């Protein structure tokens, strides 16, 4: 298994604009459930801490293998989501790792 974690800060000049961006990102990524081979788990978390160094949103996902993660990166459904969210982010951070057992 490989875990894929991505965190974003999103555009938004007001709390309402930021909330709309978060909702769009959440809907878009949640639409991938059941559509990507090897994607075992996907969840979106929205920051509630509101500390100045926090990211707005996190994607936590699990894939059955490195090959499945690589397939996800180029899968047409993932590309669709990337296109839907174009220009929405102002920062992105990622970590992929294999959990130690």
Full domain range(s) for residue 73: 2-97
Q: Tell me the Ramachandran region of residue 11: left when phi exceeds 0, alpha when psi lies from -120 to 50, beta otherwise.
A: beta
State pLDDT tens for residues 20-73: 999 999 999 999 999 999 999 999 999 999 899 999 999 999 999 999 999 999
Residues paired with residue 89 on neighbouring β-strands, in sequence order? 10
Hey, how many other C-beta atoms are within 10 angstroms of the C-beta on 78?
17
pLDDT confidence tier of residue 101, bands split at 50, 70 and 90: confident
Total number of domains constituting the chain: 1
Residue 54, domain CATH: 3.30.70.100
């Amino acid at each position: 298994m490989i875990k894929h974690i991505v965190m974003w800060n999103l555009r938004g000049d007001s709390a309402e604009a930021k909330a709309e961006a978060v909702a769009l990102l959440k809907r878009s990524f949640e639409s991938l459930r059941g559509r990507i081979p090897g994607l075992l788990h996907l969840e979106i978390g929205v920051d509630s801490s509101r500390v100045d160094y926090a990211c707005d949103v996190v994607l936590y996902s699990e894939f059955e293998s490195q090959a499945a993660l690589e397939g996800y990166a180029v899968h047409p459904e993932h590309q669709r989501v990337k296109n839907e969210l174009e220009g929405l982010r102002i920062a992105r951070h990622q970590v992929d790792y294999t959990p130690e057992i």
